[in-house]
Structure 1
Amino acid sequence: MSDYRQRAENVLRRIDQLASISEDSMGITRTFGTGAFLRGSALIQQWMLSIGLQTRTDSIGNVRGRLECANIDAKTFVLASHMDTVVNAGKFDGPLGIIMSLNLIEQIIQSDKPLPFHIELIAFSDEEGLRFHTTYLGSKVVAGSFDSELLTKRDTSGATLAEVISEMGGSTINLAEDAIAPENWLGYFEIHIEQGPVLYERNVPVAVVLGIAGQKRIDVTFQGMAGHAGTVPMTMRQDALCAASEFVLAVEQLAANQPNLVATVGKLNVTNAASNVIPGEVNCSLDVRSNDGALLNHTYQALQDVCESIGWKRSVETTWTLVQETAPVACDANLNATLAQSILDSGYSLIELVSGAGHDAVPISNVAPVTMLFVRCFKGISHNPLENVELNDVAAALQVGDTFLTQLIDQYTS
């Protein structure tokens, strides 16, 4: 019988090893294409090689390890997560899924059980979108949905995505060749921390993900008139910050009264801010998410109408720009049923959740059936150095993962 606690200790040891590689000595930051990112990538590739996987780094910087079955025409089942981070990140978001999957595949290799399909482990290069403000770069290449127009996007230093890919040793002309064709996919499995408090509050180690919320990200600008704070009467002002503030509270109120919806204004920038100047221009972000596509679209339009109404009332011009959108994703019913049964067979309560956070499963879902396993994290904290996962929960997730892959292998062998 497998010693899941010992295996979990090995996983956490590697988590700490990878976390020690960072652009910032005071925290964990591995941005796509940086020196720290490349050192982390090399370490993951070394781990893949150590268990006997056929390993390569593709043109977008994904690290890929492959375990082939005897039938060269068999389809491929992918286990994956991402290796990039946000600034001052926790150490589990992304890497936990990679390193746990590495452990699961190592058990399959050691069992010497014949495989009915190929298995590929992928450490995606860029899910967070930190450097070029474009999410899912790595998984979009694998899914065959990478937009070549992104190659001209520039980071804050002025470097283009194409230049960074070249510096990493990749080739922009070979990106399309790195996709797995839709007809060659068997399925996709991603292990990830929940990034929410449900499992923590219920004291349950794992959950099945039913689907991933769709999201719309909007850039909003309020253009008023700057003026002297001491000389312009209150009734004659075109205060852009007051307009933005009213909008922020309207967003909160609308979302609070609507179940199955979240909306966030996460950034607010006052141009030429000064204590004695009436704000003349304010720019803010808006993030709206729901797993109900109709509700998401309705809310988007409602908030745009609210924005325009506030601008009209306050004599402030508004600019509304849709920056990014993804549709809600439903995980595959058959894979989810197998994963759910694996949780029950492993002796744990079954909880089904919708993910409010985006994952690489989103672009992959366009070409393959996907399933996800959430692992409990401390108080649901993520994108934060306090991010933490307990040893026993890693052990539980490994047990579920073993059972899931064994059942999947048996299904396709019989």
Structure 2
Amino acid sequence: MQQEYTIRAERIMRRIQQLAAISEDADGVTRTFGTPAFLQGRALVQSWLEAAGLPIRVDGIGNLRACLLSKNPEAKTFVLASHIDTVVNAGKFDGPLGVLMGLDLLEHLLAQQAELPFHIELIAFSDEEGVRFHTTYLGSEVVAGSFNPSVLARTDAGGITLARALEIMEADATQIAADAIPAADWLGYFEMHIEQGPVLWERQIPVALVTAIAGQMRAELTFRGMAGHAGTVPMDMRQDALCAAAEFVLIAEQFALQHDQGLVATVGKLSLSHAASNVIPGEVRCSLDLRSPDAIQLTDAYQALKTYTEALAIQRNVALSWNLIQETAPVACAAELNELLAQAIADAGHEVLALVSGAGHDAVPVSAVAPATMLFIRCFKGISHNPLEDVELADLAAALEVADRFLMELKIKNEELKMPA
């Protein structure tokens, strides 16, 4: 049995390598939403789905969707999913691993000619990372029925709107509303993902049960001072926007360090307008990414940092523009599905380790309409969003066994529910 899982894991690894070879650049892996590299990568995944004999379609936001149908036309739908877009200079496993594991699970069920009491839909979400249009979960929000049509007017760095990008991708945005799975039709949602943290690596455990996903608040800040000559404006008369931004970066770091308990704050983007070595920076834009598994802590921290920064701007005599661009509440995974997944982990012979995810996942919007659960898989030193991202074959094989057992537990439970009293 273990040899079978190793063989299946090796096939997934080969596919991971093939997909990773498709990139916008030569360093790492970059396949941002809607780019030629993204479309080429999606086409490769589609070819594997077609080879498996699964009916497929591409929906209005560019999600790739395949379905293994139950013989019961009134059956509910259980979704296996993750994303195939990446951040810039990414690793190979964040997102695609979950999609390709899902494909392997369906191939295994097809080979077993298993009869299912529910439909299984495998979805390769088109945009979870939000790199291009600065809004995450585009793909999963469509499936969950929470997509905001106003987002279609958003532009990328080149001025292309999301609506236009979908046209270029030959995706039909007029069908987006119809692409949602109605809440009444959901049985549940299962996402398999690398941990993106060091706990499993340090404890030498291949998998973990995800109990919750941290909430996020993202803001875009602009500091506006006065550009001036670097050699002629006295230090005590300057309105240096970069100095204000630099102080904000350190304030955010110190605030998160002092409050801890799962709170993290990151300034990941910083840009200077008309930058030159001999010019005092007059305008600086930066980001703030704030996360916590505690909803109250998250909102309190956000407001506190905003208040501190407003006071900083007054002190430094610069203008501040602060815009909230994304907010997602913390999400608890479904207890009933987690119980089945925990049992599958234990039955496979592993310690049942429960973790909270600090990273966001497509399970967040889906959880508003369906029970959701997640399985974390150990990754090299917890590294993610980095070309060093890696997963060991033995851990992938262990995760496949757990996923197989979980689907079997789910199948048995739903068959029992339909049995006469």
TM superposition score normalised by structure 1: 0.97
Match of 2:87 in 1: 86
Match of 1:328 in 2: 330
Is 1:59 the counterpart of 2:66? The answer is no
In the alignment, structure 2 segments of 5+ residues that lack a partner are 417-421
Match of 1:95 in 2: 96
Show CA shifts across 1:225-274 (max 9, x none): 22333333332222222222222111111100112100011122232333
Match of 1:71 in 2: 72
User: Structure 1 CA distance, aligned partners of 2:275 and 2:39?
Assistant: 39
Show CA shifts across 1:181-223 (max 9, x none): 0000000000001111111111111111111111111111222
Number of residue pairs matched by the alignment: 414
User: Structure 2 CA distance, aligned partners of 1:232 and 1:45?
Assistant: 60
Using the aligned pairs only, state the percent identity: 62
Task: Give the secondary structure class of the aligned counterpart of 1:402.
Answer: helix
User: Structure 1 CA distance, aligned partners of 2:156 and 2:245?
Assistant: 27
Show CA shifts across 1:297-340 (max 9, x none): 00000001100111122222211111111111111011111111
Residue type of the alignment partner of 2:192: I
User: Structure 1 CA distance, aligned partners of 2:211 and 2:53?
Assistant: 33
User: Structure 2 CA distance, aligned partners of 1:27 and 1:143?
Assistant: 31
Is 1:112 the counterpart of 2:100? The answer is no
Match of 1:354 in 2: 356
Match of 2:146 in 1: 145
User: Structure 1 CA distance, aligned partners of 2:167 and 2:234?
Assistant: 57
Task: Give the secondary structure class of the aligned counterpart of 1:398.
Answer: helix
Give matches, 1:163-178, under 5 Å: 163-178=164-179
User: Structure 1 CA distance, aligned partners of 2:8 and 2:176?
Assistant: 35
Match of 1:21 in 2: 22
Match of 1:184 in 2: 185
- Does structure 1 conserve the Cα–Cα contact (< 8 Å) formed by 2:17 and 2:92? yes
User: Structure 2 CA distance, aligned partners of 1:195 and 1:229?
Assistant: 43
Give matches, 1:302-381, under 5 Å: 302-381=304-383
Task: Give the secondary structure class of the aligned counterpart of 1:294.
Answer: helix
- Does structure 2 conserve the Cα–Cα contact (< 8 Å) formed by 1:82 and 1:94? yes
User: Structure 2 CA distance, aligned partners of 1:57 and 1:273?
Assistant: 43
Residue type of the alignment partner of 1:72: P
- Does structure 2 conserve the Cα–Cα contact (< 8 Å) formed by 1:261 and 1:288? yes
User: Structure 2 CA distance, aligned partners of 1:237 and 1:87?
Assistant: 35
Query: Relative to 1, partners in 2 of residues 1:107 and 1:74: Cα closer, same or farther, differing over 3 Å?
Result: same
Structure 1 counterpart of 2:289, from 287, 290, 311: 287
Shift of 1:51: 2.1
Query: Relative to 1, partners in 2 of residues 1:226 and 1:163: Cα closer, same or farther, differing over 3 Å?
Result: closer
Match of 1:44 in 2: 45
Task: Give the secondary structure class of the aligned counterpart of 1:257.
Answer: helix
- Does structure 1 conserve the Cα–Cα contact (< 8 Å) formed by 2:92 and 2:387? yes
User: Structure 2 CA distance, aligned partners of 1:35 and 1:227?
Assistant: 42
Comparing 315-324 and 8-17, the one that deviates more? 315-324
Show CA shifts across 1:1-23 (max 9, x none): 36111111011011111112222
Residue type of the alignment partner of 2:366: I
Residue type of the alignment partner of 2:315: K
User: Structure 2 CA distance, aligned partners of 1:79 and 1:255?
Assistant: 34
Show CA shifts across 1:115-147 (max 9, x none): 111111011111111222221111111111111
| Aligned-CA RMSD value | 1.4
- Does structure 2 conserve the Cα–Cα contact (< 8 Å) formed by 1:220 and 1:284? yes
User: Structure 1 CA distance, aligned partners of 2:176 and 2:85?
Assistant: 19
User: Structure 2 CA distance, aligned partners of 1:234 and 1:27?
Assistant: 42
User: Structure 2 CA distance, aligned partners of 1:230 and 1:242?
Assistant: 16
User: Structure 1 CA distance, aligned partners of 2:124 and 2:147?
Assistant: 17
Shift of 1:278: 2.5
Match of 1:399 in 2: 401
In the alignment, structure 1 segments of 5+ residues that lack a partner are none
TM superposition score normalised by structure 2: 0.95
- Does structure 1 conserve the Cα–Cα contact (< 8 Å) formed by 2:95 and 2:193? yes
User: Structure 1 CA distance, aligned partners of 2:158 and 2:171?
Assistant: 20
User: Structure 2 CA distance, aligned partners of 1:364 and 1:28?
Assistant: 27
Show CA shifts across 1:345-393 (max 9, x none): 1011111111111111111111101000010111111111111000000
Match of 1:276 in 2: 278
- Does structure 2 conserve the Cα–Cα contact (< 8 Å) formed by 1:45 and 1:56? no
